[in-house]
């Protein structure tokens, strides 16, 4: 069972110097309590009381998603990224236990010593960089229990060191081929899955017996739901080794561009040059990834860090789903090299950069309005805001604000529109011969629409009547007049 909160680990409002932390106004508490309309449960945050219907999706995702990743790997590695060919071939032989077993044995990736060494060597190297590289201290949002946590923001440096070393050791000193990731992709997939599952179960166990911030845990009463969505909010080793920031940023996002680079090298090995589609894809992914690290401080206040607990969704997702599914397009372009016409190239380049502009500008508006406490210009005019109050489970009342103008007045998640345009451009680099490279934009649409609903539930619980006021002022969730 859960242990009591360790007093030394309770860092309630430990960082009052934080620019981003909300100001606490105890004197306004009575007034606020009288006025608030919807505070879901004792604290807001992840759902706690879950029904059978809430448990089914996590159950099936944990059961099936690893096979989906393996199936996509198989279709790319053995069938030129055709999603249907493996199934059609199998159906010709008949779906018996023997034919399915033969198919798995012949096609699925196998564990390899190289795969395990590379994966765990990479993971420990990233852990080492995360722990020793210097960086400024950033702060997350105040949690439902009232903690405002510090983070070491050193991702850009880790990205530069990792990529610099990889290029120097492979292309410079020829210690290993630059295509090494591509060449060991199957073995790496198995090793990453092992790591993803181990981390999920470790996090579940740690949450029960050695929680970092016990008062920020959420138990749903269902172990399936808890393994998937996580119990601990901010599991850490020591003061700064934060699971969420590390696993999402390093084995996840640093790997993204490195994998692409290695796949571009594999394409070069195969056909003697790198296609312009592969270059454009590498560029768009690079833009997205480097933006993430340059704005890593901003990431501390996004839903991943500010709302999601650390379970299978983030741990397996960061270790397996992100590196293997987000890079499907570069795997595709190795198997199906495409030279784009310059007209098509320019169109995709434009869509990607326009999407990036919307994505960055929208996220920037939210960040700047919070940083300046609303004292800033948005689209040349003084920012319009709703001043809000919310309560944490320690009973303190905090103040925050919701931006009403700029992109946040167009729809409640216009940043997602930018993200979807970038995602579409990434997929369009692969032409139209197969569906598989479009998996990313389809998945992102599902992910972001689901996020909109989760975020609505969270913000309603956190801000109550203020959120309702925002929803009345900005009725559309994503695309004006559509949704």
Cα separation of 391 and 43, whole Å? 8
With CB under 6 A as the contact rule, the residue among 62, 281, 306, 460 that binds ligand NDP is: 306
Cβ of residue 305: shortest distance to ligand NDP, in angstroms?
8
Length of the chain: 483
Terminal-to-terminal C-alpha distance of the chain? 44
Candidates 85-93, 213-221, 233-241, 454-462; binding stretch for ligand NDP (CB under 6 A): 454-462
Cβ of residue 483: shortest distance to ligand NDP, in angstroms?
15
Can residue 415 be called a binding residue for ligand NDP (CB under 6 A)?
yes
**With contact defined as beta carbons under 8 Å apart, do 218 and 233 qualify?**
yes
Cα separation of 231 and 226, whole Å? 6
Numbers of helices and strands, H then E, in the chain: 22, 8
With CB under 6 A as the contact rule, the residue among 46, 413, 434, 477 that binds ligand NDP is: 413
Cα separation of 77 and 362, whole Å? 38
Cβ of residue 221: shortest distance to ligand NDP, in angstroms?
25
Cβ of residue 426: shortest distance to ligand NDP, in angstroms?
10
Can residue 459 be called a binding residue for ligand NDP (CB under 6 A)?
yes
Cα separation of 282 and 261, whole Å? 7
**22 or 82: CB nearest ligand NDP:** 22
Residue 74 DSSP SS3? helix
Cα separation of 133 and 87, whole Å? 47
Cα separation of 135 and 293, whole Å? 12
Contact track, ligand NDP, 392-411, x by CB under 6 A: --------x-xx----x---
**389 or 458: CB nearest ligand NDP:** 458
Cβ of residue 117: shortest distance to ligand NDP, in angstroms?
28
Cβ of residue 175: shortest distance to ligand NDP, in angstroms?
32
Count of residues binding ligand NDP (CB under 6 A)?
A: 21
Cα separation of 163 and 258, whole Å? 7
Cβ of residue 400: shortest distance to ligand NDP, in angstroms?
6
Residues 343 to 362 in contact with ligand NDP, rule: CB under 6 A: 359
Residue 272 DSSP SS3? coil
DSSP letter, residue 147: B
219: tokens are 């138990």
Cβ of residue 73: shortest distance to ligand NDP, in angstroms?
19
User: What is the C-alpha R_g of the chain?
Assistant: 23
**189 or 383: CB nearest ligand NDP:** 383
**13 or 276: CB nearest ligand NDP:** 13
Cα separation of 87 and 75, whole Å? 9
Can residue 302 be called a binding residue for ligand NDP (CB under 6 A)?
yes
**28 or 131: CB nearest ligand NDP:** 28
Cβ of residue 434: shortest distance to ligand NDP, in angstroms?
22
Q: What residue spans of 110-184 are helical by DSSP H? A: 113-132, 155-167, 180-183
Cβ of residue 1: shortest distance to ligand NDP, in angstroms?
30
Provide the β-strand partners of residue 381. 378
Long-range contacts of 33-36 (CB under 8 A, 24+ apart): 33/391, 35/465, 36/389, 36/391, 36/464, 36/465
Contact track, ligand NDP, 180-219, x by CB under 6 A: ----------------------------------------
Which residue has the closest beta carbon to ligand NDP?
A: 302
**217 or 413: CB nearest ligand NDP:** 413
The CA dihedral of 283, 320, 255, 79, to the nearest 10 degrees, is -50
Closest CA to 82 of 264, 332, 320, 339: 332
Can residue 451 be called a binding residue for ligand NDP (CB under 6 A)?
yes
With CB under 6 A as the contact rule, the residue among 75, 141, 234, 282 that binds ligand NDP is: 141
Cα separation of 273 and 266, whole Å? 10
Residues in contact with ligand NDP by CB under 6 A are 141, 301-303, 306, 359, 363, 366, 400, 402-403, 408, 413, 415-416, 419, 451, 455, 458-459, 462
């Amino acid at each position: 069972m859960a242990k009591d909160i360790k007093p030394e680990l309770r860092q309630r409002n430990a960082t009052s110097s934080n620019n981003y932390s909300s100001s606490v106004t105890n004197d306004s508490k009575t007034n606020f309590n009288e006025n608030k309309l919807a505070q879901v449960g004792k604290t807001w945050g992840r759902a706690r009381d879950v029904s059978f219907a809430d448990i089914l999706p996590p159950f099936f995702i944990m059961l099936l998603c690893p096979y989906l990743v393996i199936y996509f790997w198989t279709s790319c590695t053995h069938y030129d990224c055709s999603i249907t060919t493996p199934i059609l071939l199998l159906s010709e032989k008949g779906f018996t236990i023997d034919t399915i077993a033969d198919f798995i044995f012949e096609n699925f990736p196998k564990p390899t010593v190289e795969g395990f060494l590379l994966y765990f060597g990479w993971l420990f190297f990233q852990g080492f960089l995360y722990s020793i590289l210097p960086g400024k201290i950033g702060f997350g949002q105040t949690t439902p229990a009232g903690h405002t946590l510090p983070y070491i923001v050193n991702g850009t440096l880790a990205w530069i060191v990792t990529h610099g070393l990889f290029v120097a050791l492979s292309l410079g000193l020829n210690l290993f081929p630059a295509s090494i990731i591509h060449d060991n992709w199957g073995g790496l997939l198995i090793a990453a899955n092992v790591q993803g599952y181990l981390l999920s179960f470790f996090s579940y166990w740690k949450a029960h017996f050695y929680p970092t911030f016990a008062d920020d845990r959420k138990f749903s009463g269902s172990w399936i739901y808890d393994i998937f969505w996580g119990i601990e909010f901010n599991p850490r080793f020591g003061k700064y080794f934060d699971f969420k920031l590390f696993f999402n940023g390093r084995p996840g996002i640093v790997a993204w561009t490195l994998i692409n680079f290695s796949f571009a090298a594999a394409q070069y090995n195969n056909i003697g040059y790198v296609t312009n589609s592969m270059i454009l894809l590498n560029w768009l992914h690079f833009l997205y990834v480097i933006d993430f690290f340059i704005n890593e401080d901003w990431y501390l206040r996004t839903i991943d860090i500010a709302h999601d607990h650390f379970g299978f969704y983030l741990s397996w997702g960061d270790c397996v789903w992100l590196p293997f599914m987000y890079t499907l397009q570069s795997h595709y372009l190795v198997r199906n090299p495409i030279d784009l016409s310059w007209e098509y190239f320019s169109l995709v380049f434009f869509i990607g950069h326009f999407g990036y502009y919307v994505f960055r500008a929208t996220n920037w508006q939210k960040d700047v309005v919070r940083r300046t406490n609303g004292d800033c210009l948005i689209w040349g005019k003084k920012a319009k805001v709703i001043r809000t109050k919310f309560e944490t489970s320690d009973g303190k009342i905090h103040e925050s604000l919701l931006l009403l103008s700029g992109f946040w007045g167009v729809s409640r998640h216009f940043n997602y529109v930018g993200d979807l345009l970038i995602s579409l451009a990434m997929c369009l680099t692969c032409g139209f011969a197969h569906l598989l490279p479009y998996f990313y934009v389809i998945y992102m649409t599902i992910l972001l629409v689901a996020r909109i609903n989760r975020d609505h539930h969270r913000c309603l619980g956190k801000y109550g009547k203020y959120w309702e006021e925002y929803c009345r002022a900005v009725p559309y969730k994503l695309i004006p007049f559509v949704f």
